[in-house]
């Protein structure tokens, strides 16, 4: 079992729709969870972080965390073509301070 699993996609949604990106992780002790966005040919950049069960909203982005199910998701409302990128899920490990990244989900928002 991979430490962090994401659907590789590609996930294609029309402009204005909600994009839903999912991630499961194996380390039950993980406490902090991060979503990064990576445009093609660029470095990852932080979108959101979440630490508590439930939802956390930031503009058009909502992160959802369910530690019991070892599941974290990212919702993008009113998707824009500029949201087209690969989204990486990264739980922080429980034993030390490192993070393991998922392989990422490639999102395409079509005008």
Residues in contact with another protein by CB under 8 A are 31-32, 34, 43-46, 49, 51, 88, 90, 92, 96-104
Taking the complex as a whole, the smallest distance from the CB of residue 30 to another protein amounts, in Å, to 11
For another protein, the closer of residues 80 and 94 by Cβ is: 94
Tell me the closest approach of the beta carbon of residue 33 to another protein, in angstroms: 10
Rounded to an integer, what distance in angstroms lies between the CA atom of residue 67 and that of residue 18? 23
Shortest separation between residue 43's beta carbon and another protein, angstroms: 4
- Number of neighbouring beta carbons within 10 Å of residue 51: 13
Backbone torsion region of residue 20, taken as left when φ is above 0, otherwise alpha when ψ lies between -120 and 50, otherwise beta = beta
**Strands (E) located in 1-111:** 4-6, 11-14, 19-25, 33-38, 45-50, 54-58, 61-66, 71-76, 85-91, 105-110
Closer Cβ to another protein, 17 or 32, answer by number: 32
Complex with another protein: residue 38 or 70, whichever CB lies closer: 38
Q: Among residues 17 and 99, whose Cβ is nearest to another protein?
A: 99
């Amino acid at each position: 079992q991979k430490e962090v699993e994401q659907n590789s996609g590609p996930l294609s949604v029309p402009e204005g729709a909600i994009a839903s990106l999912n991630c499961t992780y194996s380390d039950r002790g993980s406490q902090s969870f991060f979503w990064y966005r990576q445009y093609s040919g660029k470095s990852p950049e932080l979108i959101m972080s979440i630490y508590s069960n439930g939802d956390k909203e930031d503009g058009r982005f909502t992160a959802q965390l369910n530690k019991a199910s070892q599941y974290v998701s990212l919702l993008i409302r009113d998707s824009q073509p500029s949201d087209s990128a690969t989204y990486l899920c990264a739980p922080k490990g429980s034993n030390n301070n490192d993070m393991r990244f998922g392989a990422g989900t490639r999102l395409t928002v079509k005008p």
